[in-house]
Structure 1
Amino acid sequence: MHDISIWLLFLFVVGSYVQSLTGFAFGLVVMSVAGLFSLVSLEVAAFSVSVLSMVNAATGLYGGVWKLVNVKNLLAYFAAATPMIVIGVYLLDFLGSNALHWLQLLLGVSIVLACLMSLMKPKKDAEASRSWVYFVFGGISGIFGGLFATSGPPISYLMYRQPIALNVIRATLLSVFFITSLMRIAIMGVGEQITASMMWVSVLGLPCVLITSILAKRYPPNISPQVIKQVALVLLLLSGVSLSVKALL
């Protein structure tokens, strides 16, 4: 457990650093590398991502940012996302115990799809999407969020297509990440799936994420965030493909 924690802490630092500079998904970075190199079980990795993402989102919403949230669309989103998060959490527990290779394959394919979606630059729509669109994307994001704590790519793609202010988009996305993480943790708690290892890794990862986020913003590298994001996407795409191949062999 000691060695695993050290490698995971390093992974948390890398993921937090990339996300702080680019806004890129912390969860995808952690889940892809942890799954590829079997640093820890996917259940433990997903739980720690949920805890740390919730803390990160809460920090972003602090100071009245939460007042900008588009509540109507958020309700439509979670009407579909909630049951899918429940299904995703219990599917992760079942596959982790009975069909690990299928779980690894599913994670690999999910990472590849998430990277491809992140590479697509959404264009602003002339009109705001209707509530049923948020409902559909809520179902898709919910299953990813329940399985691997990576609900970001689908809903982020949808939100950045909306003809609304960027601060409203950011506040709504942060709220989605916070509530999704909180729900995922609560569902695991009710199902008595939270283990000591999950808590231990999450507690150790917290200062790493917070300190790295502060330092990355205060001392950014002399490299364009867009370049860093593109490099991260390529590496994640390769890790997703490698994980899928690993699961099939």
Structure 2
Amino acid sequence: MYDISIVLLLVFVLASYVQSVTGFAFGLIVMSVAGLFSLAPLEVVAFSVSALSLVNATTGLYGGVWRQVNTKNLIVYFIASLPAIALGVYLLGYFGDSSLHWLQLLLGVTIILACVLSLIKPKVGEKPSRPWVYFVFGGLSGILGGLFATSGPPISYLMYRQPVSISVIRATLLSVFFVSCLLRIIIMAVGGQITTPMILLSVVGFPCVLITSLFAKRYPPNISTQVIKRIALFLLLLSGVSLTLKALF
């Protein structure tokens, strides 16, 4: 029987609460804490993040929100993202525990860069980005999504530079997260990489995420979303630096 860490389930709760309040960081928080304290193998945690993020994205797209997505650019994005996700999944399985310090180093650097991107307020462009820009960002997001189920930072940065409404940005990002997580799970299933620990962790983590999301929606915090976001980014940055130092030394 796979021994699931109670601490990891508490991390699911914390990450889900932050995600519900601020709209970001579920995967980054879970992966950073799990990697820093070695709560579970990274490939197991990454799968559970994909499965649980899929549930969150489905809920967010419910009610026709997906109709606001710019389908043309999203198709270009996934033309690059699909093979990149497959490559990331392959690299994670290839290196595994035998090169754990390299994976920790890469995850730490990824988290640091994600925090930097989140702190930089993108300047909204006068014109929408061309399709080739979505192609490039699709490749970058795909690699991160395949490796650590954290495809969000690059595409989020790109979308917030577009001269479109917040509702369109939100719908596009939710669609990206939904399709990316679904593709990652399908790729792993086809490759026979889904294991019992991955399924168990996802099943046990589901009520943690669902109940926390409902609680955060019904009882929002008294402090502003921006304050919570800054606290989360600060903690993430510390985790990223700690992971990087742990891998190097």
- C-alpha distance in 1 between matches for 2:122 and 2:88: 27
Once the two structures are superposed, the pairs formed by residues 118-133 of structure 1 within 5 Å of their partners are 118-133=118-133
Once the two structures are superposed, the pairs formed by residues 51-90 of structure 1 within 5 Å of their partners are 51-90=51-90
Q: What TM-score results when the alignment is normalised by the length of structure 2?
A: 0.98
Offset, 1:95 = 1.3
Give the share of equivalent positions with the same residue, in percent.
71
- C-alpha distance in 2 between matches for 1:86 and 1:201: 22
Provide the residue aligned with 2:207 in structure 1. 207
Q: What TM-score results when the alignment is normalised by the length of structure 1?
A: 0.98
Provide the residue aligned with 2:175 in structure 1. 175
- C-alpha distance in 2 between matches for 1:51 and 1:237: 25
- C-alpha distance in 2 between matches for 1:72 and 1:5: 42
- C-alpha distance in 2 between matches for 1:4 and 1:239: 21
Offset, 1:5 = 3.4
Contact 1:104 1:244 in 2 (8 A): yes
Q: Helix, strand or coil for the counterpart of 1:99?
A: helix
Contact 1:5 1:201 in 2 (8 A): no
Deviations 1:192-232 (A, max 9, x none): 11110000000011111111111101101111110010011
Provide the residue aligned with 1:164 in structure 2. 164
Q: Helix, strand or coil for the counterpart of 1:246?
A: helix
Structural RMSD (CA): 1.0
Q: In 2 relative to 1, CA 237–88 (structure 1 residues): closer, same or farther, beyond 3 Å?
A: same
Provide the residue aligned with 2:22 in structure 1. 22
Provide the residue aligned with 1:5 in structure 2. 5
Contact 2:2 2:197 in 1 (8 A): no
Provide the residue aligned with 1:105 in structure 2. 105
User: Is 1:151 matched with 2:151?
Assistant: yes
Offset, 1:188 = 0.6
Q: Which amino acid aligns with 1:187?
A: I
Q: Which amino acid aligns with 2:103?
A: L
Deviations 1:164-204 (A, max 9, x none): 11111111110100000000001111111111000000001
Once the two structures are superposed, the pairs formed by residues 179-198 of structure 1 within 5 Å of their partners are 179-198=179-198
Once the two structures are superposed, the pairs formed by residues 128-143 of structure 1 within 5 Å of their partners are 128-143=128-143
- C-alpha distance in 1 between matches for 2:170 and 2:83: 24
Offset, 1:4 = 3.1
- C-alpha distance in 2 between matches for 1:220 and 1:70: 31
Deviations 1:15-66 (A, max 9, x none): 0001111112200000000000000000011000000001100110011111
Provide the residue aligned with 1:34 in structure 2. 34
Offset, 1:2 = 6.6
- C-alpha distance in 2 between matches for 1:13 and 1:61: 22
Gaps of at least 5 residues in structure 2 are: none
- C-alpha distance in 1 between matches for 2:95 and 2:107: 11
Q: Which amino acid aligns with 1:197?
A: P
Offset, 1:97 = 3.9
- C-alpha distance in 1 between matches for 2:8 and 2:231: 21
